[in-house]
Amino acid sequence: MAETMIFPTKEIARPTQGHWTYDDYLKLPDDGRRYEIIEGVLYVTNAPGLDHQFTVFETARQMGNFVLEHKLGYVITAPFEVHLAELSRPVQPDILFIRAERWPKPGAKFFTSAPDLIIEVLSESTGRTDQSVKFTAYEQAGVPEYWIANPKTRSAQVFTLSGQEYALINQFIGEEIIQSHIFPGLQIITNTLFNQ
């Protein structure tokens, strides 16, 4: 049975958790929140804070410069829909990289497949989801590399797909250079990703 969700401008029928579909998502209001559906469960996130956004921008900027210089593909940030699977769409990673040969055509509203790399930046409201729910969703979808950046601990964990499971490459802190299997030669000093 559907529940009722009340928004400032209208009422919509809300499916029970575990039964959300992309059609249900399309009926949600455009209210500045980030809505994601993972395994049929709706996740709602409010606008992030300064430290989160600083890390998103700085990571995307540095990675984007490397990708552009080497003509590898494209780096973009949320909001942008990624459709990982029938019951996990859309997800909206903080940052994603797609190789040039897989880049969607102009005008695309979403990307249907696993991006080549995803980065999530932790915040108090998203930590559990990023480290558990999204970790599993990205792993199952076959995202080759997943980074979790943590502004609170000023660290970055990098996971690479080994078989069908993520293996931790390392947790990087301070002046350490983040290592990536997707981007050999990338030179990002961990501390530069976090608000001073």
Instruction: Please list the residue range(s) of the chain that carry CATH number 3.90.1570.10.
Output: 48-193
In tens, the pLDDT along 68-91 reads 999 999 999 999 999 999 999 999
Task: Please report, for the chain, how many H helices and E strands are present, in that order.
Answer: 4, 14
CATH architecture of the domain with residue range 48-193: Alpha-Beta Complex (3.90)
Q: Which parts of the chain are beta strand (E)?
A: 3-6, 11-14, 34-38, 41-45, 73-77, 81-83, 95-99, 110-112, 117-121, 145-150, 155-162, 165-173, 177-178, 188-189
The yes-or-no verdict on residue 8 having pLDDT over 70 is no
In tens, the pLDDT along 137-175 reads 999 999 999 999 999 999 999 999 999 999 999 999 999
Calpha distance 110→115 (Å, rounded): 11
